[in-house]
Chain A
Amino acid sequence: MTRHARLAVFSLVSTIVYVLAYNFGWQLFRYYPLLNQISLDPLPAKTSGPAMMYYGWMGTAAIAGIVVALIVPPKYAAKLPSAVAWVVPLLLVAFTLVYEKHWFL
């Protein structure tokens, strides 16, 4: 378990950071499907079409998860309660449903 415990840390951090990323706009980059172009900065909507943030949020979350999982020593990672692996996603699901409720009002 100890040898692979960092995987649980990665999951914990990346799921939380993903939700923070879409909530606060922390996308690593934007993708413009009309231009098939990745950009770090916003491009003018009139000429560039809609920007997609999804891949950028996932990039932010993946990097945060990898960095924290590498920093945390395995002996501490192994002490992470296994309940965190399902309690946190359930809370994130609840947050997501509240965050997206404006579509249904």
Chain B
Amino acid sequence: MTTTLLILHALMAVALLGGITHQTFSAFRTPAPATNFVARYAAVSGASYTNAMVVLYIATAILGGIVYAPYRLEIRTALEDLNLPMANGIFEIKEHFIAIGLFMLPAYWLYWRTPLAPEYAMARKLITAILAVFVWYGFLVGHILNNIKGFGQ
């Protein structure tokens, strides 16, 4: 059951990762004809991602919170036995980043409300970029820890 939830958590994280990266690129994009791959990648309507990102972030965080309890009992203990404090450290930072990001979501949603207010353009860019960093960091750390000691071993 835990392994199934972990895989679901990872799949939702992939969707979140893709969406928030798209939105971050779109937030930083200067309006111009999209002539290359990067410009076309960024040429999306950032605002249309907002609700989906909020739902995905919350759902991914809830699933992460559910698998955190067995992680605390089985994986963290094993990492301590293997004398891998750095692995525990990168996870501690992940849990804090994800929590801070979760609490940032109301402000993120507020500043991405349409019609987009020009005076909040900087806030939109940087809040979205910070959330993207949190999501990327959380994804990579989860992947690394799973490689060190995945569930079901």
Chain A positions within 8 Å of B, measured between CB atoms, are 1, 4-5, 7-8, 10-12, 14-15, 18-19, 22, 31, 33-34, 49-50, 52, 54-55, 57-58, 61-62, 65, 82-83, 85-86, 89-90, 92-93, 96-97, 100, 102-104
Contact = CB atoms under 8 A, between A and B. Distances in A.
* Interface of chain B: mostly helix, strand, loop or mixed: helix
Contacts of B68: 52, 54
* Interface of chain A: mostly helix, strand, loop or mixed: helix
Contacts of B97: 93, 96
Given A82-B120, A82-B122, 18 more contacts: A5-B110, A7-B110, A15-B103, A18-B100, A19-B100, A54-B65, A54-B68, A54-B95, A82-B119, A85-B108, A90-B126, A90-B130, A93-B97, A100-B93, A103-B85, A103-B86, A104-B85, A104-B86
7 tightest A-B CB contacts, nearest first: A103-B89, A11-B107, A7-B106, A86-B126, A82-B123, A33-B69, A14-B103
A62 B92 CA distance: 20
Contacts, number: 106
Nearest to B133: A93
23 contacts: A11-B107, A11-B108, A15-B103, A18-B96, A18-B100, A19-B96, A22-B96, A50-B77, A55-B65, A65-B103, A82-B111, A85-B108, A85-B111, A86-B126, A86-B130, A89-B127, A89-B130, A92-B100, A93-B100, A96-B96, A97-B93, A100-B89, A100-B93
Contacts of B72: 33, 50, 52
A85 B123 contact: yes
Contacts of B108: 11, 85
B107 A7 contact: yes
B100 A15 contact: yes
A4 B110 contact: yes
B99 A54 contact: yes
Residue with the highest number of chain A CB atoms closer than 10 Å, among B65, B97, B103, B111: B103
Contacts of B119: 82
B114 to A, nearest CB: 12
Contacts of B111: 82, 85
Contact of A61 (B73, B93, B99): B99
A61 B65 CA distance: 16
